[in-house]
A = this chain, B = another copy of it.
């Protein structure tokens, strides 16, 4: 069960380097190697490789648009797309991921990482260059900073199960009335839980409660 890879990059050098790296793996095979976005989309649709390794800067159609055409929302049978680029711009990362890419690599990565990324992509999972990951993380969890007071040490007073239920619903934008209805309790109860949670989390209103819930991952997207 070999992993079939399509490589798209306008630089001949890069294409052959990637080809050589992947060629060292017995279970990987480069099925196409093209120099522009239009050919990439064309070949990808015809050959349906397990992984499409796309550069961003390409003639005719850039890698981000190509990604959207191959893996974006609305595509019925999306392919696994891995973006590899020299340019480490947030804008690129976001657009790539939103367009359905399942990986974002910088060209200064090690060969071993490329191989791991391709392997991950072939199963639809994601792997992102360390340097990029650091920045993505900083958006999820503020970066480590000496003297930072907003630490995530375990709460001195942990939330009870019921409080957590209420907090989750608050984070989803529900009013106290709705929460009461959903949990089959009165509004008074909801308010009690909320007040307690508010005290325990040391926050001032429900928006901050919701913020805590989003930050810590108690609720998700």
Contacts and interface: CB of A to CB of B under 8 A. Distances in A.
Interface of A: 65, 68, 71-76, 78, 90-91, 93-95, 97-100, 102, 110, 112-113, 115-116, 119-120, 125-128, 130-131, 133-154, 170-173, 175, 203-208, 210-211, 214-218, 220-221
A71 B144 CA distance: 8
Contacts of A217: 90-91, 93-94, 139
Contacts of A211: 171-173, 210, 214
A130 B120 contact: yes
Pick from A112, A126, A214 the residue with the most CB of B within 10 Å: A126
A-B pairs with the 6 shortest C-beta distances?
A: A73-B148, A98-B152, A90-B217, A173-B208, A125-B130, A142-B221
Contacts of A134: 102, 125-126
A138 to B, nearest CB: 5
State the copy count for this chain.
Answer: 2
A75 B94 CA distance: 32
B126 A137 contact: yes
A73 B147 contact: yes
B110 A112 contact: no
A132 to B, nearest CB: 9
A73 B130 contact: no
Nearest to A77: B146
Given A130-B126, A173-B204, A216 B94 contact: yes
A73 B149 CA distance: 7
A165 to B, nearest CB: 16
